[in-house]
Amino acid sequence: MASAGWPLFWWLVGSICIPLSLPWLLFKIFHFKKSHAKLQGKVVVITGASSGLGEALAHVFYKAGCKVILIARRENELARVKNDLLSLHPTIPTHPPVIISMDLSELNDIAGHVKKILAVYNKVDILINNAGISYRGEIISTKVDVDIKVMLINYFGQIALTKALLPSMVELRSGHIVAISSIQGRIALPYRSAYTASKHALQAFCDTLRAEVAGHNIKVTVVSPGYIRTNLSVNAVTGSGQQYGVLDETTAGGYSPQSVAEQILDGVADDKNELLISPASPRIAIFLRTVCPSLYFLVMKKRAKHTTSDKNS
């Protein structure tokens, strides 16, 4: 008797859910197409575009019809990414990628590079500050030079490029600054001091920038992703200044660069102020840090102790 009721139950569920979900689905499809369409032809500068997330961002913005300008230190890798893009066959009109070799740690050279960038299309619509370096080490044994290096690349290089491009955006009363931060820009983890400090600083700078440039019709988006399957941990610097050279288990199990890049594309198209790309546990940690900091501090103490025991085992 009970089993005979199941067809009726599912008929009722379908009768109610399908009519309700269909308009929502149509809205999402229409909104997706409309928001992405406004990106076509936009001039997009992507730093750190020679590998990892930056390379994935180059692909998704190129396939969206943007005029991408790819920036990184390694010109040969930029050329590889450019050739990969040119070999694609998107369904919409695309524009040949432009590559410019630049080292963001050379702050005095940034103004000259910006002149080259602006000379390409006479404007920049979207700047994606993606370049960065990670760090693994203990505060007590980390050289100050390492802190300076990480801050120079992850913070000062980003804001120097932003400041150099900002006047052109103000003049046009249009622009979008995108900062690729990290979950660690929201919460600090043990043995990541230099990295998380640089991301905290970038987060604070962007919050201030967003308020100041709103009157000029300039948008600011801060992206805070969790672990991404890239070589970020392998290329991380240690407290002594050497390369870490290890693919962390958490990094290996992270999001694919492609999926993160696609979510960033959606967030930029929707003019999001913030975009949090993360599983549940970091979101809970952010919540605890805000509403119950004492519990958060206790959790971090235990995490630090556990990490130390792992190193010594």
Q: How far is the C-alpha of 258 from the C-alpha of 269, rounded, in Å?
A: 17
Q: Which helix (DSSP H) or strand (DSSP E) does residue 161 occupy? A: helix 157-172
Q: Which of 62, 195, 227, 244 is catalytic?
A: 195
Residues pairing with 15 in the sheet: none
* Local structure of 276: helix, strand or coil: strand
Clarify whether 255 is annotated catalytic.
no
DSSP class of residue 154 equals I
Q: Are 177 and 223 in contact (CB under 8 A)?
A: no
Three-state secondary structure call for residue 283: helix
Q: In 3-state terms, the chain is what percent helix, strand and coil (to 5)? A: 60, 15, 30
Count CA atoms within 13 Å of residue 303 on its CB side.
Answer: 12
The burial of 140, by beta-carbon neighbours within 10 Å (0-12 exposed, 13-18 middle, 19 or more buried), is given as exposed
Query: What is the signed CA dihedral for 121, 123, 129, 130, rounded to 10 degrees?
Result: -20
CB 226 within 8 A of CB 187: no
Residues 105, 307: Cα–Cα separation, whole Å: 31
d(Cα 247, Cα 114) in Å, to the nearest integer?
34
Which positions are annotated as active-site residues?
A: 195
